Amino acid sequence: MLLRHTTKEIQERKALVVNPAKTCQPIGAMYAALGIHRCLPHSHGSQGCCSYHRSTLTRHYREPIMAATSSFTEGTSVFGGQANLIESINNIFTIYDPDIIAVHTTCLSETIGDDVPQIIAKAHADGKIPANKMVIHANTPSYVGSHVTGFANMVKNMVTYFSKSTGAKLAQLNVIPGWIEPADMREIKRLAAIMGINTVLFPDTSNVLDAPQSGRHQFYPKGGVTINQLKTTGDSEATISLGEYTSLPAATALDAKCKVPFYNLDIPIGLTATDRFVQTLHEVTGVAVPDEITDERGRMVDIITDMQQYFHGKRVALFGDPDQLISLTEFLVTLDMRPVYVITGTPGKRFEQRMKDILAESVPEAKYQQAADMFLLHQWIKQEPVDLLIGNTYGKYIARDEDIPFIRFGFPILDRIGHSYLPSVGYAGGIRLLEKLLDALLDRVDTVSSEETFELVM
């Protein structure tokens, strides 16, 4: 295997990325757009780009991802994509009848400098956009940032295009969930609903990318935040944004536009991050935390107590998206595990500062880096092995090469099914993660045990 040529010796690399721990912006923008009810994402670029983005999302969520493309040709690349996009808008509304088209750019359209807002304005002027229909956009060049950046850009522009303030406050709370699974979004709504809190969650891919099988195809599933809900976000009492990278830009824009105060939290993965989320719901709304949620927390604490002896001191390597890694790393520290290597392919030095805050005292030897690649992570593991690897499907090659137990977490997961239906956030999601962690570690114990030490009861 190629990975067996990975060297322990690390040399500084400025221009070469080997096995990047990220993918491109348009994938994130497309996923965010799917969280709007009756929205059709549109890729303003070549057909090949759109096909790649759709196939990656389809393979992760095991659902047919619908999206359109401007289908650039050589001529379009020279003369610009205005004619293609206007024709696409007209065809999409005529044939597929969405309520909204969410346009995201690609490397090609960004490089030639297409002015998408101007093109949308011309489409309006030419009568290509029907009454009560909308077209929004986000600039998502693939040569900067990552899929996380593209997601954040599209969500921020939901605020730019939709949010309005009428001056009359509504008894509701905005929640910007960040890039998490549809089941995670459903779990966040469930916790708020138990407390009797009205929320507008945006984007919301629950009942879109995990819609129930009804026996007939629905081009636009019943899920997703509606346009009317998005318009009311400017009148909400407050916003809770989950994740500095994916959600904070939209929360900041909404505060600047409509004066809606926001509270930026980590994604509620694990005990302490979920505690902070529930406590913030309580403090912002004044609603008491009901026994049902307190009991869920108690069950999680109980299972941590039972499992902690097996977690203590285990060395872990992680890779993935920064917002998820921040919460997950904190959770592992809570379990007395040692996250010794943590990398993200998404650029942004705030990640390294958060890692320092979480790990400096408990795991002083930890190495962490933003805008890193999996080649570097593999080199670190070769220098000093770990007991567990956590990340998306691409980690399976390192896990196999170094014979390390591996837990699939994050995006994309291409070789397993069901992850989008089961939450990782909240207390219920935390219990699921605990089971996955312990199963991986104890399965390893069984695998390497001799006949004399192979135990029936751990």
With cut-offs at 50, 70 and 90, classify the pLDDT of residue 280.
very high
Query: What is the pLDDT averaged over residues 399-409?
Result: 97
Q: Which helix (H) or strand (E) holds 105?
A: strand 100-105
Mean pLDDT of the chain: 95
For the chain, what percent of residues have pLDDT higher than 70? 99
pLDDT of residue 170: 97
Evaluate the CA torsion angle 306, 362, 267, 285 in order and state its sign: positive
For the residues 416-429, what does the mean pLDDT come to? 97
Query: Would you state the structure tokens that stand for residue 140, as one six-digit string?
Result: 């998502």
Q: Would strands 134-138 and 236-242 be described as parallel, antiparallel, or unpaired?
A: unpaired
Q: Is 312 left (phi over 0), alpha (psi -120 to 50) or beta?
A: beta
What is the secondary structure of 295-339 as a DSSP string?
A: HHHHHHHHHHHHHHHHHTT-EEEEEE-HHHHHHHHHHHHHTT-EE
Residue 457 — very low, low, confident or very high, per pLDDT cuts 50/70/90? confident
User: Is the predicted pLDDT of residue 1 greater than 60, yes or no?
Assistant: no
Please state the rounded mean pLDDT for residues 446-455.
90
Rounded to an integer, the average pLDDT of 147-157 is 98
> What confidence score (pLDDT) does residue 2 get?
56
Question: What residue ranges of the chain are covered by domains with CATH 3.40.50.1980?
Answer: 25-144, 170-211+222-268+277-285, 292-448
Mean of pLDDT values over 151-170: 97
For residue 152, pLDDT beyond 90: yes
Q: What is the pTM of this model?
A: 0.95
**Radius of gyration of the chain measured on its C-alpha atoms:** 23
pLDDT at 27 over 70: yes
- What confidence score (pLDDT) does residue 14 get? 82
CATH 3.40.50.1980, applies to 25-144: yes
Which numeric CATH code is attached to 292-448?
3.40.50.1980
Per-residue pLDDT tens over the stretch 333-345:
999 999 999 999 9
Q: What is the CATH code of the structural domain delimited by 170-211+222-268+277-285? A: 3.40.50.1980
Percentages helix, strand, coil for the chain (3-state, rounded to 5) are 50, 15, 40
Q: What is the pLDDT of residue 3?
A: 67
